[in-house]
A and B are shown apart, each in its own frame.
Chain A
Amino acid sequence: MSPLRDVAQLIWLVPALPLMALALVGGRVLLGRAHGDAAEPLTARLCGLAALGSLCILLLIDLGALLYGAPGYRLFGAWFASGRWQATLSFLMDPLALAVATVAALIGWLVMRFSANYLHREAGFHRFFIALCLFLAGIQLVFLSGNGLLAFVGWEMCGVSSFLLIGYAWERPTATGNALFAFITNRAGDAGFLLGLGFAAAWLGSFEWPSLTAPGALTMLSARLLAFGFIVAALAKSAQLPFTPWIARALEGPTPSSAIFYGAVMVHAGVYLMLRLSPLLAQVPDLMAGLVVAGVVTALYAWLCSLVQTDVKSALIFATVFQVALMFVAIGLGWTTLATIHLCLHAGWRTWQFLMAPSWLALAPHAPRPAPAWLQRSQLLYTAALERFWLDRLALVLLAKPTAGFAHDMQELDTQFIDRVVGEPGRGDPVQADLPLIAADGVPGRLLAGVAQRCQQVEMHLSLRGRGGAAELALRRMGLWLRTVEHLLERPRYLMMAVMATFVVIL
């Protein structure tokens, strides 16, 4: 056998290498070893090597795939299981996965190398590389895993690292606010993903992509529900309508992170998910039509918005969303090969364009061709495009504000009612005016104070009232009785009787 065939067994290293780099760099930071200029090269080299390692393994597998055919589905073991379903560690290396993963690995390695210089002496240098490694591991899991559950783990890793890097400049309230906005919007997509996974567990008992996409495994209705969940996930991750606003607000991070996340790789994760599930989608033509509609509307939206953008990063991001929307249209029309090729080439080009964003003035010194005249005249459309069709304000009004209001009400309820009922330590009122030492707050506190008082009364009544109290007399009488019994038991005949009685009881 050729070693090129065996190299597919190493596929798990592709996401694992960045994770190892992450662990090492994280360990250095935790141990306080990551300070000053001297600590930077090691971090950058570790992460760069991990990214290069992933890339090389993928390239070797690609070569093997070209020579001997794609390795396909590989099962590496069970992760955990419950009832009739099982979570496995499996990878799927078909041409689609290998192509996209290789492009992502190449871009990941380039961005790692770019960042080593670009972020020199930044306070968040090591933090940035940790987040980037987390992303690389996550995105490779999404692209390469053989089942939905593992892909979801990667999906979440991407979400978390994206949140961390949008909030890179955490001293700026705008940056942290936008990080939160993006994070929360993406949770809607996660809900869709989980929905799909849940249905898969219930109806198929498996998360493996091959069984999800096997024709005829599901009824029409089940297939539709399952696909719907994944489509929501894809639309959210790839910033299609109605989720588009998050991506324009996500450009707060350093330029290389904007490039790899929103320009090049992560924005295509939704497209990839659709491509991966395209056999499933083919079973539900109405959802395919829905994809086309979503893609066309998003493309129109992104095109109109991109025309009015005045800053480089926003202009590029809307252009990116436009082309991603075209990919959704292509998938909806069933042109999956075209969409795959478009995805890979688009990712490559946007990497260059985002990384070169600071040189826009040198690259394009002249104004772009003006918008069509009919568009130029419409004040209303212009206002709408400049306001990005009010989508993020709508999200604020419809979702964020009611939630915040609810939270405030809950807090009021908490402080005004629950806290008072439950009581807080250290702030009670005296239960009795003449006994200031005993203070109680809240219902349980007062209850306890009441019980304590009762107990104290009993104690006072029974024992503390000194000699001659009722309790003392009773106890003394009881002691007398017990002593008599003891005396009797010490005599042998009674002892024997007791032993025999015991035997009788036992028998």
Chain B
Amino acid sequence: MDAPADLPLRERLAHWVEHLTHILPAQAPIRDFVHHNTLHGFQHLPFADALAAAHRLTGATPYLSEARFRDYLAQGRITREDLAAALDDAGIPALDEPIQHGLSRRDVLLASLQCDLQAACPERRKWLADEGMDSDEVAKIAHFLQSTATIAETPAVKGDWRSESGQRRTALWARLGRDLTWCGLLEHLTGEDVLDRVRTVLQRHLAAHLDLGMAAWRNPLRERGFYAAWRACAGLDMAWELDELPSVRDEIAWLPEDAVDLLAEELPRLIPDETLWPGYLECLALELPGWSGMVLWRDRHALSGDDMPPVAVADYLAVRVLLERLLVDDLLRRLTGGPTPCASLHDWFADRPAEFFVRDALRQRTLDEETLSAALRLCRLGEAAHPDDGAWQTLAERIGPSPDSPLDRARLVVLLAGPLGARPADLAAWPATVVDALLACATSLDALTRGQVWLLAYERHYREQLLVALAANQGRHRGAAAPSAQVVMCMDDREEGTRRHLEEIAPDIETFGAAGFFGVAMYWQAAGDAGRTALCPIVVQPVHVVEEIAAPGEDDALRHQLLRRQQRAQWREALVQQTRRSPVLGPLFAGLAAVPALGALVAGSLAPAWWGDALLRWRERRDGMPTTRVAMTAEAAAVAPTPQAPQAGFTDDEQAARVAAFLRMIGLTRNFAPLVLMLGHGSDSRNNPHRSAYDCGACSGRHGGPNARVFAAMANRPAVRARLAAQGLAIPETTWFVAAQHNTCDDAVHWYDVDLVPPARQADFDTLVAQLAEACRAHAAERCRRLASAPPHPTPWQARRHVTGRLHDISQARPELGHATNAAAFIGRRSMSRGLFLDRRVFLISYDPTEDPEGRIVEGILLAAGPVGAGISLEYYFSTVDNDRFGCGSKITHNLTGGFGVMAGAESDLRTGLPWQMVEIHEAMRLLVVVEQAPDVLSAIVARQPALQELVGNGWINLAAKDPSTATISVYCPRRGWLPWSGPHVLPQVGRSVDWFAGERDALTPALVLGGVA
């Protein structure tokens, strides 16, 4: 941003583009959807400031609407105590300052938060009064207030619109390059969006250039970059003539060859002041945030593959700037009746204050209907006939400056009276100065601060419930002396349910949670995959690759299966591609495929679960099910492997190191059970462009099963066990690691390498398989309570059937609800939370503080899991609070574009973020991370880790600590440090989870589950 001014433009531009990464959506092409903080670029700011900055820049609303919060208040999801405490938490000054009669500022603010302060516009007020929906009381009190007013209320002085016109003009021009482009400024003044004329074709050009494999015919000049490709087309485009812009084609013919030269030429014409250029380019990019973001992403991430033309932000910005200048010139010509450079528009309007005043007032949406239509008419005439100043002046006189209506004050008094517990007339009868002070105090918080207070109250309410639950659960679980199995799952909030049900079904099973790549960062190449995919958090670049290979003797079977699969995929692809592109084969294929396609639709519609299962079984029978193994052992370490040329497999030492580090991290270092299950997870669904958003976030939006499988295979190797024993981590020989993958959509479990389980463990294994299947069914029943189309009181089997149907149903816009319920994270021993019903709202990360007095392990966990959890929670947060701007709207009109994103309908900006269907039941609050560690240890960790400083210090996540030695709980406040927490230790008790959730549809409070504790 602050590149030195003496650098050449090209280098300064590079700085500015770097800054763009902070404000544009950073979403990758949609098949690699990974959750991240939508406002990641603002993370260096405290949460509230960042939200305010984003609001200024994009106009998005960063908090839930006050109406929604007030609903929560009415439902008891927020209490008045929460609100009062939130005022303190938000750091609102002078809360205890008295106003009158024992009323402090706190009381007044509390009352004001409960009122809808949004004043109605005069027209609406008039309408309400005419319809008899405005109470007479307001008018009476308005009258009364006016009669007692001490300070002479400035009556509306007609005529001083001239000075106001000047002020508003200066203010408007000051925004240019800060949060407004010429396009926006002129839209404000004329109501015409100049971009409208070219937006459609610009989006087509962008989509064509960024295309990852949709179009068969691409721009001949694409290899020379977007600017050259666009220019070649624009020079031949007849649209200019049709749009009455004939001179444009000549200008395009003489454009410089290089985009940066063009920028150097055009920017001064738009904005003479060079210091405003970066801001101006930002505003320009933010007018089409989706497309700009995708251009930027491609600029930053070179994609491999054939036919990937170069993508540069400079090219894109050059085209945008040029179009802006051309179109703005044209609009100015029409507006002023002659060629007018942008720079002189300010003076032009300075000579016509009346015209400016009327045009500006038109957008304030406060004019009455008659004035509005007169103003609109003048504006419309402005282009053709250029009406004389007299007409504008007459209208400007009529509009005049907007006075403060006494009705607004009266309305406020009436509103405040309710929550303050007084009669409106009594309030109005107070001395005028007191009423003034009261009203001033009630309106002293701006909309954003009010939103922040509400959010804090909302978060506090849930935090109290959760901390009470933790306190009540203290010491309930003692741990099994000889566990029958240990199950390591992903920390994912969805697995909280699975773990709880498994523990209820088998109290002698211990469960653990960790980031779902199980410490094995790798590239994975499944049998038959053309390329390899990174299975690890997005910030990690793996340098090892693991391949799936045929088990000994199964080579032919595997080859047969892959061949069949490949043939099927090729046929399918040929069918969908040729019917859209081939003139000869298209009709033929369409005719051949029609009857089977209709048959599949009928079957899939009538019995999705049966049809999906039948297809799968048919494929398995036809293709065979060859046994495979993972090739994860390297003989010797490669020299300096890189992500581009990774090492094939891990050496014995590397394997031992990964296994040891992981087991130490989750605190599983002794008392090993006969079976240790590594349970990765993924989500499968049909007809869902956002599929990877449901997958394992710790595996970059992929299935985490292969990581579990590789980990288990490593831990079973005698060479690794020997090395572990040498490090003091003795795994008994009787212990066997097994791996499986949990499908969070249909709660199915796919087991890996079943044939390798030693005969001695087979019985234990069978028990575990049955127990886990039962737990998954119970979990499915719990999930069904949030799904409207599920049976209301399903048995576990019915529930499982229902979710299977959801997976296979092509019409299902909500195959599962993803992380929609996420709200908190626990880092600590399972004893902390075992036996608590947490409603699938909590990330559970295993960590043993007793083994880690200095906090080295928890530091690593926080560094790895913190950003993942915060990314998920914040993406859900922002997509929920403003689904239109931060999210991507409803799925039902989505149109997959270029293989990299979705548009709404036939053409629109590229939509990023989460679809509304994923967030509709989300409760928008920041993640509360409760760590089982001493507060001072945590303080030290946060202090020495800049990444955590940002997350915790700036309040992007909330932190609480549960001291492992004293079991006291403290809550961290970025402003006031650690605050000791105290509260009741009682909670409702139920026998099993199902007793608590049966029949309930909404979010549930925690409860003690008696059945889950060993």
A114 near B217: Cβ-Cβ < 8 Å: no
Distance between A29 CB and nearest chain B CB, rounded to angstroms: 19
Is A207 an interface residue when CB atoms closer than 8 A count as contact? no
Is A122 an interface residue when CB atoms closer than 8 A count as contact? yes
Tell me the complex Cα distance, A346–B597, Å.
11
User: 1/0 contact trace for B885-920 toward A, CB 8 Å?
Assistant: 000001111111111000111111000000001001
Known: A110-B602, A174-B907, A345-B594. A408 touches B380 (CB 8 A): yes
Give every chain A residue within 8 A of B216 (Cβ-Cβ).
307-308, 367-371
- Pick from A116, A254, A315, A359: contact of B580, CB below 8 A: A315
- Pick from B212, B595, B893: contact of A348, CB below 8 A: B595
The residue of chain B having its C-beta at the shortest distance from the C-beta of A415 within the complex is B377
B905 near A348: Cβ-Cβ < 8 Å: no
B204 near A310: Cβ-Cβ < 8 Å: yes
Is B590 an interface residue when CB atoms closer than 8 A count as contact? yes
Tell me the complex Cα distance, A191–B304, Å.
54
Tell me the complex Cα distance, A114–B602, Å.
10
B597 near A386: Cβ-Cβ < 8 Å: no
Give every chain A residue within 8 A of B593 (Cβ-Cβ).
349, 352
Tell me the complex Cα distance, A364–B578, Å.
11
User: 1/0 contact trace for A307-345 toward B, CB 8 Å?
Assistant: 111111111100100110010000000000000011011
The residue of chain A having its C-beta at the shortest distance from the C-beta of B307 within the complex is A367
Is A303 an interface residue when CB atoms closer than 8 A count as contact? yes
Tell me the complex Cα distance, A312–B899, Å.
9
Distance between B890 CB and nearest chain A CB, rounded to angstroms: 7
Specify the main secondary structure of chain A where it touches its partner: helix
Distance between A306 CB and nearest chain B CB, rounded to angstroms: 7
Known: A306-B581, A349-B590, A363-B576. A379 touches B236 (CB 8 A): yes
Distance between B123 CB and nearest chain A CB, rounded to angstroms: 17
Distance between A62 CB and nearest chain B CB, rounded to angstroms: 15
Tell me the complex Cα distance, A168–B205, Å.
27
User: 1/0 contact trace for A149-189 toward B, CB 8 Å?
Assistant: 00000000000000000001100101100100000000000
Q: How large is the interface on B (under 10, 10 to 19, 20 to 34, 35 or more residues)?
A: 35 or more
A382 near B217: Cβ-Cβ < 8 Å: yes
Is B243 an interface residue when CB atoms closer than 8 A count as contact? yes
Give every chain B residue within 8 A of A116 (Cβ-Cβ).
811
User: 1/0 contact trace for B797-825 toward A, CB 8 Å?
Assistant: 00000000000011111100000000000
A113 near B590: Cβ-Cβ < 8 Å: no
Give every chain A residue within 8 A of B30 (Cβ-Cβ).
361
Tell me the complex Cα distance, A254–B889, Å.
12
Tell me the complex Cα distance, A323–B594, Å.
14
A349 near B893: Cβ-Cβ < 8 Å: no
Which parts of B540-597 form the interface with A (CB within 8 Å)? 572-573, 576-577, 579-581, 583, 586-587, 590-591, 593-595, 597
A387 near B237: Cβ-Cβ < 8 Å: yes
- Pick from B221, B239, B573, B689: contact of A387, CB below 8 A: B239
A390 near B238: Cβ-Cβ < 8 Å: yes
B905 near A117: Cβ-Cβ < 8 Å: no
Tell me the complex Cα distance, A346–B594, Å.
7
Tell me the complex Cα distance, A138–B167, Å.
59
Is A82 an interface residue when CB atoms closer than 8 A count as contact? no
Give every chain B residue within 8 A of A100 (Cβ-Cβ).
none
Give every chain B residue within 8 A of A457 (Cβ-Cβ).
none
Known: A169-B904, A345-B595, A369-B577. A311 touches B897 (CB 8 A): yes
Distance between A342 CB and nearest chain B CB, rounded to angstroms: 7
Give every chain A residue within 8 A of B242 (Cβ-Cβ).
390, 393-394, 396-397
Distance between A37 CB and nearest chain B CB, rounded to angstroms: 5
Tell me the complex Cα distance, A115–B905, Å.
17
Which parts of B181-224 form the interface with A (CB within 8 Å)? 201, 204-205, 207-208, 211-221
B215 near A310: Cβ-Cβ < 8 Å: yes
B893 near A310: Cβ-Cβ < 8 Å: no
B598 near A380: Cβ-Cβ < 8 Å: no
Is B232 an interface residue when CB atoms closer than 8 A count as contact? yes
Distance between B134 CB and nearest chain A CB, rounded to angstroms: 23
Is A92 an interface residue when CB atoms closer than 8 A count as contact? no
A307 near B217: Cβ-Cβ < 8 Å: yes
Known: A359-B687, A364-B576. A303 touches B583 (CB 8 A): yes
Which parts of B31-53 form the interface with A (CB within 8 Å)? 31
B221 near A379: Cβ-Cβ < 8 Å: yes
Tell me the complex Cα distance, A110–B908, Å.
29
Distance between B611 CB and nearest chain A CB, rounded to angstroms: 13
Give every chain A residue within 8 A of B580 (Cβ-Cβ).
306, 315-316, 319, 353, 368
Give every chain B residue within 8 A of A107 (Cβ-Cβ).
598
Distance between A110 CB and nearest chain B CB, rounded to angstroms: 5
User: 1/0 contact trace for B11-31 toward A, CB 8 Å?
Assistant: 000000000000000000011
Tell me the complex Cα distance, A90–B888, Å.
49
A346 near B591: Cβ-Cβ < 8 Å: yes
Distance between B64 CB and nearest chain A CB, rounded to angstroms: 18
Distance between B580 CB and nearest chain A CB, rounded to angstroms: 4
A323 near B587: Cβ-Cβ < 8 Å: yes
- Pick from B572, B594, B811: contact of A118, CB below 8 A: B811
- Pick from B215, B600, B688, B897: contact of A352, CB below 8 A: B600
Known: A121-B920, A363-B576. A387 touches B238 (CB 8 A): yes
Tell me the complex Cα distance, A174–B686, Å.
29
The residue of chain B having its C-beta at the shortest distance from the C-beta of A377 within the complex is B220
Which parts of A108-136 form the interface with B (CB within 8 Å)? 110, 113-122
B892 near A118: Cβ-Cβ < 8 Å: yes
Give every chain A residue within 8 A of B307 (Cβ-Cβ).
367
Tell me the complex Cα distance, A41–B893, Å.
21
Greatest chain A CB density within 10 A among B201, B232, B687, B920 is at: B687
Known: A172-B904, A311-B903, A352-B598. A120 touches B896 (CB 8 A): no
Give every chain B residue within 8 A of A365 (Cβ-Cβ).
213, 573
Is A208 an interface residue when CB atoms closer than 8 A count as contact? no
B898 near A310: Cβ-Cβ < 8 Å: yes
B586 near A323: Cβ-Cβ < 8 Å: yes
Tell me the complex Cα distance, A252–B890, Å.
12
- Pick from B220, B573, B809, B895: contact of A313, CB below 8 A: B895
A358 near B601: Cβ-Cβ < 8 Å: no
B601 near A299: Cβ-Cβ < 8 Å: no
Tell me the complex Cα distance, A106–B380, Å.
51
Give every chain B residue within 8 A of A348 (Cβ-Cβ).
594-595, 597-598
Is A49 an interface residue when CB atoms closer than 8 A count as contact? no
Tell me the complex Cα distance, A346–B899, Å.
25
Tell me the complex Cα distance, A359–B586, Å.
20
Is A18 an interface residue when CB atoms closer than 8 A count as contact? no
A253 near B810: Cβ-Cβ < 8 Å: no
- Pick from B788, B810, B893: contact of A254, CB below 8 A: B893
Tell me the complex Cα distance, A377–B219, Å.
9
Give every chain A residue within 8 A of B903 (Cβ-Cβ).
311
Is B789 an interface residue when CB atoms closer than 8 A count as contact? yes
The residue of chain A having its C-beta at the shortest distance from the C-beta of B204 within the complex is A386
The residue of chain B having its C-beta at the shortest distance from the C-beta of A392 within the complex is B200
A175 near B905: Cβ-Cβ < 8 Å: yes
Is A375 an interface residue when CB atoms closer than 8 A count as contact? yes
- Pick from A110, A310, A369: contact of B581, CB below 8 A: A369
Distance between B421 CB and nearest chain A CB, rounded to angstroms: 34
Distance between A453 CB and nearest chain B CB, rounded to angstroms: 29
B217 near A311: Cβ-Cβ < 8 Å: no
The residue of chain B having its C-beta at the shortest distance from the C-beta of A320 within the complex is B580
Please list 7 pairs of residues, one from A and one from B, whose beta carbons are closer than 8 Å in the complex, sorted by A's number.
Answer: A106-B598, A310-B211, A346-B594, A364-B572, A382-B217, A383-B236, A390-B239
Give the 3 A-B residue pairs with the shortest CB-CB distance, closest first: A367-B213, A352-B597, A348-B594
Contact surface of A with B, Cβ cutoff 8 Å:
37, 40-41, 106-107, 110, 113-122, 168-169, 172, 174-175, 178, 248-256, 299, 303, 306-316, 319, 322-323, 326, 341-342, 344-353, 355-371, 375-380, 382-383, 385-387, 390, 393-394, 396-397, 408, 415
Contact surface of B with A, Cβ cutoff 8 Å:
30-31, 201, 204-205, 207-208, 211-221, 232-233, 236-239, 242-243, 307, 377, 380, 572-573, 576-577, 579-581, 583, 586-587, 590-591, 593-595, 597-598, 600-602, 605, 686-689, 691, 788-789, 809-814, 890-899, 903-908, 917, 920
